[in-house]
Amino acid sequence: MGFATDAIHVGQEPDPTTGAIVAPIYQTSTYVQPEFGKTKGYDYARTNHPNRKALERCVAQLEGGKNAYVFTSGMAAIDAVFRLLRPGDHVVVSEAVYGGVYRLSTQLLNQFGLEFSFVDTSSIELMSAALRDNTKMIYVETPTNPTLILTDIAATARLANERGITLVVDNTFMSPYLQRPITLGAHIVVHSMTKYLNGHSDATGGAVILTREEDAEKIYFIQRSAGSGLAPMDCFLVSRGIKTLVVRMLQHNANGIAVARHLDAHAKVRKVFYPGLPSHPQHELARWQQRGPGAMLSFDVGSLEAARRLLDQVKLCSLAESLGGVETLISHPATMTHASMPADIRRSIGITDGLVRLSVGIEDVEDIQADLDQALLYV
């Protein structure tokens, strides 16, 4: 079946009991056992429940993985992946990684004996030079948040396979519709399902999609042991959101391209970071690796004060963290999503005080552009 068909039907079959086209929400904590030593497939909601299993089937299918497990948030999913490692293991991580991942790795996981090196993963040479004898994982965001730098997934997969290293790709910015890392050689894919998979800014969730059975067994053990599996209502909401993933991403992508071009031509904007623009240094890689450039972009207005004036004047664009919803969201990475990253490190990787991140929604694109134009008058 095609991608859109799978998004609508896999894990979302009619309820076998009543025929309801939308499966019920199993809002229960426990399951009655028909007799001693036997269950109907479920015993306790922390371990598993029908809504979770259905969503996991769907996400695995869309990403082309063998198994998937869903968590309470994207960070919970990422934390579970890092728990596959052992004290003394080393990880190479994209240097322009989401601030929450930087905080998790440098302020928490390092206390348990894990070692992290932050590298420009757009360069195979730099990644290769950063590998050590104890390197067990390469963790990349592509595109990176918020600098929109790409990693060549296929080339990185070859490097990882040569050294027996696990390649993990955060595919949140693209969604499986616009990019499928497993088909390019990734071993594990992670998502903040809060973003494009859900798409409506009304639920949080994370996903880990796996290609190897031994990794899947470990991730499921972590999920049920730590109690970090996604609750029934949130699973229901994400499953509902996925049904419209394709039509949403088509509009997100079209709007993203139009807004990026509009800002790129604006006199008040110093630079636009967007792989869909020919000026982006990895524009050709984006054309090959991605189905479209997407709806995430950043632009620099020159200073913190200019960014503040812009963000105080937007009306349609909502000043808020997160991304991937149907509404346009605008944020200031240096003081919001990446505030936990030291200022000197932020600046060294291109997160300046004048950088603004935009998650382009699916409103009428002329209205988005007009709102940005009127706000840019104050810059």
Q: Over the stretch 294-341, which tens digit does the pLDDT of each residue have?
A: 999 999 999 999 999 999 999 999 999 999 999 999 999 999 999 989
276 and 194 co-located in one domain: no
Q: Among 189, 218, 242, give the residue marking a domain's end.
A: 242
308 and 371 co-located in one domain: yes
Q: How far is Cα of residue 18 from the mean position of the Cα atoms in its chain?
A: 35
Per-residue model confidence (pLDDT) at position 340: 86
Residues forming beta bridges with residue 206, ordered by sequence position: 71, 192
Catalytic residue among 26, 31, 42, 98: 98
Residue 16 pLDDT exceeds 90: no
212 and 90 co-located in one domain: yes
Mean pLDDT of 16-43: 93
236 and 147 co-located in one domain: yes
Q: Over the stretch 338-358, which tens digit does the pLDDT of each residue have?
A: 998 999 999 999 999 999 999
Catalytic residue among 6, 79, 170, 234: 170
| Residue ranges making up the domain that contains 206 | 3-242
Catalytic residue among 195, 248, 291, 346: 195
126 and 249 co-located in one domain: no
Q: Is 103 a catalytic residue?
A: no
Per-residue model confidence (pLDDT) at position 163: 97
225 and 148 co-located in one domain: yes
Q: Over the stretch 55-84, which tens digit does the pLDDT of each residue have?
A: 999 999 999 999 999 999 999 999 999 999
Q: Over the stretch 193-203, which tens digit does the pLDDT of each residue have?
A: 999 999 999 99
pLDDT-derived band at 216, boundaries 50, 70, 90: very high
128 and 155 co-located in one domain: yes
Return d(Cα 181, Cα 53) in angstroms, integer.
22
209 and 65 co-located in one domain: yes
Q: Is 136 a catalytic residue?
A: no
341: domain CATH number?
3.90.1150.10
Mean pLDDT of the chain: 97
Q: Among 213, 242, 271, give the residue marking a domain's end.
A: 242
Percent of the residues in the chain that have a pLDDT greater than 70, as a whole number: 100
Per-residue model confidence (pLDDT) at position 17: 86
CA nearest to 195, candidates 360, 51, 32, 57: 360
Q: Is 300 a catalytic residue?
A: no
Count: domains in the chain: 2
Interior angle at CA 368, CA 365 and CA 372, nearest 5: 140
Residue 186 pLDDT exceeds 90: yes
Residue 371 pLDDT exceeds 90: yes
Per-residue model confidence (pLDDT) at position 95: 96
Query: What's this model's pTM, rounded to 2 decimal places?
Result: 0.97
Residue 232 pLDDT exceeds 90: yes
Q: Is 139 a catalytic residue?
A: no
81 and 226 co-located in one domain: yes
256 and 356 co-located in one domain: yes
Q: Among 211, 242, 273, give the residue marking a domain's end.
A: 242
Please, which residues have CB within 8 angstroms of residue 143's CB and are 6 or more apart in sequence?
Answer: 149, 150, 173, 174, 275, 294, 296
Mean pLDDT of 366-373: 98
Q: What is the CA radius of gyration of the chain?
A: 21
Reported in sequence order, the residue ranges of the chain that DSSP labels E, i.e. its strands, are 67-71, 90-94, 115-119, 135-141, 166-170, 188-192, 206-210, 271-273, 296-300, 318-319, 329-331, 355-359
206 and 313 co-located in one domain: no
Residue 19 CB neighbour total at 10 angstroms: 7
Is residue 71 classed as helix, strand or coil in its secondary structure?
A: strand
13: domain CATH number?
3.40.640.10
